[in-house]
């Protein structure tokens, strides 16, 4: 928890998020129109999405399946009966004049998400509900000097609105929440969760209070489209509210907008209440009734999710919580890591984790490529670790071999052979180098004898250098100690 010092004491921020996640599905919630990102405006619009008179919505089963899977992944209650309602409001890019959403009876009820915080601790955030609803179209204000254009491609696309409880207490926790949500949805294959493409957006509810007091009045900052902006909006909004209250004012419940250029929030409209929308069950749609066996089958078929995978990596591979968390954040990374461990016979999983998150990620970032395009695949990295573990190459040489593998795409063994990089583990050969270095440096030998232990490290360095990094460091240490007495 991070408290903010004000003039009237310490303040705590209270945050709850409403996340809109676009469901991965070929077609929209109630029509057969396509949903591909980046299509030409108004090319993915059916008569239903354009709200032509007399058109009737037909529920897309895939959208329901995705919502249920997501609910299961959030450890949430699945409601076997739920109801679509009309939420009535006017907006130029909402041709129906209402959004079909769920209100009193959502498809998913309470659940829980576990946050992995940067200090290694975990925290649970409650999920209030998840419901299905239609997205609206998009107004384009920058296409013409005096007119606004409307693109209805998004109209009717399936959204899951995932509402958290007001359980978060810092911008950092909100970052961890969005990251974990994104990770879970990607594992499940229910949402791409690309905030920059708009497939995941969030409304940020913030209030402040002195610790221990009742909840304060919240504001809601709409449509924040990156984790960084969400954190900035929260910091700004909490400070604004504290200053307002300490200056004798009061927070009004309102809807605000975040300005990413200035890093501030601005009032947009006073808060609407649920009754303003005149919700009522959509007469064109029957209640959604799910078969318990169907839900159970979906549950059985869920992939191993990040929390379970992390626990397994810690238990089976002896990884620490931080490394395990980094490796499971994305499914592709976790699978890559496991493939490295499986193919590097006898290799130490902790060392494999270091190589994946260190040299391998470093090279991916430097070249700006994805795992699938990397010149070093899991089997090749495993092969390198095998040589390292068997003592065929030293740790120092291994990094050079990795770089050569990355550049050439060759196996570790081939490079070691080609360049003659095999570690020298032959006692006679090492002894010769040790003797030489000792003979060349009588001054340092004196220092060591008069009690300066640090010189030993210096000697190891000299010997490694003389062997071009190929001497077995363990043996070098042993021999040195013996010789220096
Ligand atoms: P609305 O549709 O009016 O925005 P919702 O129930 O959909 O209401 O969402 C309310 C959101 O606001 C939830 O994420 C909830 O956790 C959060 N919230 C409720 N009260 C507070 C509060 N006092 N401070 C911060 N967040 C709050
Ligand atoms: Mg809301």
DSSP 8-state assignment for residue 304: P
Average pLDDT over residues 376-396: 91
Alpha carbon of 16 to ligand 1 centroid (Å)? 6
DSSP 8-state assignment for residue 117: -
The values of phi and psi at residue 276, to 5°, are -65, -25
State which of 15, 218, 265 you would mutate to test the pocket of ligand 1, scoring each by most atoms of that ligand within 8 A of its C-beta.
218
Alpha carbon of 286 to ligand 1 centroid (Å)? 29
Alpha carbon of 131 to ligand 1 centroid (Å)? 15
> Which residues, by Cβ under 5 Å, contact ligand 2, an ion?
18
Alpha carbon of 18 to ligand 1 centroid (Å)? 8
- Distances 180 to 116, 122, 302, 334, 400 between C-alpha atoms, Å: 8, 12, 17, 15, 35
Average pLDDT over residues 199-220: 97
Other beta carbons within 10 Å of 291? 9
Alpha carbon of 265 to ligand 1 centroid (Å)? 17
Smallest-distance ligand from the CA of 110: 1
Other beta carbons within 10 Å of 180? 19
DSSP 8-state assignment for residue 196: G
pLDDT value at residue 149:
96
- Distances 130 to 74, 195, 378, 434 between C-alpha atoms, Å: 10, 19, 38, 68
End-to-end CA distance of the chain: 55
Give residue-wise pLDDT tens across range 163-190. 999 999 999 999 999 999 999 999 999 9
Smallest-distance ligand from the CA of 129: 1
Domains of the chain, first to last:
3-298 (no CATH), 304-419 (no CATH), 427-484 (1.10.10.410)
Checking if the pLDDT of 420 tops 90, the result is no
Instruction: Report residues whose beta carbon is within 6 angstroms of any ligand 1 atom.
Output: 14-18, 163-166, 205-207, 215-216, 218, 220
Helices (H), 113-247: 171-188, 227-246
Checking if the pLDDT of 197 tops 90, the result is no
Query: Per-residue confidence at 1, pLDDT binned at 50, 70, 90?
Result: low
- CA of 165, closest atom in ligand 1: 16
Q: Whose CA is nearest to atom 22 of ligand 1?
A: 218
Instruction: Say what the pTM is.
Output: 0.88
């Amino acid at each position: 928890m991070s408290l903010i010092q004000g003039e009237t004491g310490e303040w705590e921020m209270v945050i709850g998020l409403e996340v809109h996640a676009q469901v991965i599905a070929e077609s929209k919630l109630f029509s057969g129109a396509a949903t591909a990102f980046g299509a030409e405006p108004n090319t993915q619009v059916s008569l239903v999405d354009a709200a032509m008179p007399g058109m009737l919505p037909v529920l897309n089963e895939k959208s329901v399946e995705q919502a249920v899977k997501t609910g299961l992944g959030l450890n949430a209650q699945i409601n076997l009966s739920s109801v679509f309602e009309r939420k009535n409001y006017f907006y130029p890019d909402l041709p129906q004049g209402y959004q079909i959403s769920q209100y009193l009876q959502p498809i998913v009820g309470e659940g829980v998400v576990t946050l992995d915080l940067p200090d290694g601790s975990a925290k649970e955030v409650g999920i209030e509900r998840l419901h299905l609803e239609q997205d609206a179209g998009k107004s384009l204000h920058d296409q013409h000097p005096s007119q606004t254009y409307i693109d209805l491609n998004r109209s009717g696309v399936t959204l899951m609105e995932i509402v958290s409880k007001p359980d978060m207490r810092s911008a950092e926790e909100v970052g961890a929440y969005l990251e974990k949500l994104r990770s879970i949805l990607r594992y499940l294959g229910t949402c791409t969760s690309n905030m920059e493409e708009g497939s995941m957006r969030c409304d940020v509810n913030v209030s402040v209070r002195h610790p221990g007091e009742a909840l304060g009045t919240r504001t809601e900052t709409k449509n924040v489209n990156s984790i960084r902006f969400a954190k900035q909006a929260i910091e700004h909004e909490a400070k604004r509210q504290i200053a307002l209250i300490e200056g004798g004012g009061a927070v009004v419940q309102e809807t605000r907008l975040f300005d990413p250029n200035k890093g501030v929030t601005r009032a947009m409209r006073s808060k609407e209440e649920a009754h303003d929308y005149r919700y009522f069950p959509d007469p064109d749609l029957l209640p959604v009734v799910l078969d318990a066996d169907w839900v159970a089958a979906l549950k059985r078929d869920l992939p191993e999710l990040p929390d379970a995978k992390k626990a397994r990596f810690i238990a089976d591979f002896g990884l620490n919580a931080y490394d395990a968390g980094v490796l499971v954040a994305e499914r592709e990374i976790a699978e890559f890591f496991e493939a490295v461990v499986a193919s590097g016979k006898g290799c130490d999983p902790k060392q494999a984790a270091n190589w994946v998150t260190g040299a391998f990620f470093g090279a991916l970032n430097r070249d700006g490529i994805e795992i699938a395009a990397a010149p070093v695949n899991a089997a090749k990295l495993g092969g390198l670790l095998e040589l390292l573990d068997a003592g065929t190459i030293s740790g120092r040489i291994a990094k050079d071999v990795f770089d050569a593998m990355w550049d050439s795409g060759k196996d570790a063994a081939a490079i070691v052979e080609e360049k003659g990089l095999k570690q020298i583990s032959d006692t006679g050969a090492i002894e010769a180098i040790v003797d030489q270095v000792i003979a060349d440096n009588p001054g340092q030998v004196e220092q060591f004898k008069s009690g300066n232990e640090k010189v030993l490290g210096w000697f190891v360095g000299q010997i490694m250098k003389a062997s071009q990094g190929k001497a077995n460091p363990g043996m070098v240490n042993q021999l040195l100690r013996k010789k220096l007495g």
